[in-house]
A and B are shown apart, each in its own frame.
Chain A
Amino acid sequence: AQSVAQPEDQVNVAEGNPLTVKCTYSVSGNPYLFWYVQYPNRGLQFLLKYITGDNLVKGSYGFEAEFNKSQTSFHLKKPSALVSDSALYFCAVTPRGRGGSYIPTFGRGTSLIVHP
């Protein structure tokens, strides 16, 4: 069975400082990896994904994520945090393949709070 772990319920960072939101996963084979962001009273929005190739993936709003196969991790990063980045962040993993059984598994989410 596949699983996703986001070990931190909350991450606090000062505006202008770099941020990291951690994600590790357990799935057979080479999965597709995703990050989503959820702002208050909104649905989840896609940020970025890893498919193949370069381990550093760039996404929306200046976010990037680093895929590490040996550590089965896909940490979300941003060089300089903004107060407006404060939100709930979800990591998700989908096994590769075709067919309806390949649905994503989501982590429990990490609340990012950026202090002015």
Chain B
Amino acid sequence: DAGVIQSPRHEVTEMGQEVTLRCKPISGHDYLFWYRQTMMRGLELLIYFNNNVPIDDSGMPEDRFSAKMPNASFSTLKIQPSEPRDSAVYFCASSHRQGSNQPQHFGDGTRLSIL
């Protein structure tokens, strides 16, 4: 199994630009999570999906953030317009039968720098 795949691994862009982060979950996993990690705030859950449907987006910081999951093998997190305070590492994770004893599987993240 290839694990959770995220792209790009690094993204540097200027304030005001649109940023799109991509995630391919593990095949067969029915839950997908987007997290943000910073030194100040630690690991924050932004949004999660079950069977491609967004379940809880209460962690999305602002309307500038949006996430989609058009099919079981692909999800995007978009920031438009981007701001310097959005600089962080963004992780995607997937799991099977959430609520059971199954762990989450994380991608290696996208390190985002907004200048």
Contact = CB atoms under 8 A, between A and B. Distances in A.
A101 interface: yes
Contacts of A108: 42-43
A58 B101 CA distance: 15
Contacts of B50: 100
Nearest to B43: A106
Given A100-B31, A100-B55, A49 B99 contact: no
A97 B99 CA distance: 5
Contacts of A83: none
Main SS at interface, chain A: loop
Interface residues of A, number: 26
Interface of B: 4, 31, 33, 42-43, 45, 48, 50, 55-56, 91, 93, 98-101, 103-109, 111
